[in-house]
Amino acid sequence: MENYNSTKIFWDNIFKAVIPNKYENADLGQEDLNEALKWLSRGTNSIVDYGCGSGAFLFHCALCGTKHHVGIDISTEAITLAKERARYFERDNFEFIQGGLECLNKIEENIMDGAILSNIVDNMIPKDAELVLSNIHRIVHKGGKILFKVNPILNEEQIKEWGIKDLGNDLLLETTGLYLWNLETEKWCSILEKYFHIYLKKDIYYNQHEQYNRLFLLVNK
């Protein structure tokens, strides 16, 4: 299992500069994503977010009616920030844990109603990506919902401009991750369908970043 130390350092520096604030508006600035989280939250009480960052998606779900929330992130600063933000949600249950795959391994089988994997699995080596997906399949009960999102495919110009190494076999290497960014959507479908039914797949556009993300709404088998 990769230790992802450079990834942790990168995100610690990002989140260290963020001032905690109250998440009080269920709007993430991207309408397709808002609707996806509403879908995830309907009929769902408990959610685990692996790669939760500062907890924005879980706070959004709480405003949509979910009750129990577990967030896991490799960044110590992200978890500190998420815990500070959770203080504004005294009526809701939030647990934020710093760590990686070992944290997923400790969660009981079939205990969660839903899960979030947003721009995290494609930043892992293939073996670890598979372990995350199999763990989510184990943790979420049959019929539970999963929001899965990955980054856009990078073109040759971007790879060159950003100093990324193309390792072949759909693998990219950069100091903070990017291992599976260029895995084709069809290949993601093939991987996901081992564990989940694909309810919806859609490219969603972020105006602020001028790029698309690939969104999948999944139902656990």
Q: pLDDT > 90: what percent of the chain?
A: 65
Q: Is residue 171 part of a domain?
A: no
**Stretch 181-187: mean pLDDT:** 87
Strand partners, 203: 214
Question: Cα–Cα distance between 45 and 66 in angstroms, integer?
Answer: 5
> In one letter, which amino acid is 12?
D
Question: Cα–Cα distance between 14 and 9 in angstroms, integer?
Answer: 9
Q: Is residue 165 part of a domain?
A: no
Cβ-proximal residues to 121 (8 Å cutoff; 6+ apart), any chain: 129, 132, 133, 148, 150, 180
**Stretch 120-141: mean pLDDT:** 94
Q: Is residue 21 part of a domain?
A: no
What is the pTM for the complete model shown? 0.92
Q: Is the pLDDT of residue 189 over 90?
A: yes
Task: Provide the domain count of the chain.
Answer: 1
**Stretch 54-76: mean pLDDT:** 95
Q: pLDDT > 70: what percent of the chain?
A: 92
Q: Is residue 156 part of a domain?
A: no
Q: Is residue 124 part of a domain?
A: yes
Whole domain around residue 96: which residue ranges?
5-16+28-151
How far the first Cα of the chain sits from its last, in Å, is 26
Q: Is residue 194 part of a domain?
A: no
Residue 191's pLDDT band, with cuts at 50, 70 and 90, is very high
Instruction: Pick left, alpha or beta for residue 77 (phi over 0 → left; psi -120 to 50 → alpha; otherwise beta).
Output: alpha
Q: Is residue 178 part of a domain?
A: no
Provide the pLDDT for residue 72: 98
Q: Is residue 39 part of a domain?
A: yes
Kindly report the CATH number assigned to the domain that includes residue 110: 3.40.50.150
What is the average pLDDT value for the chain, to the nearest integer? 89
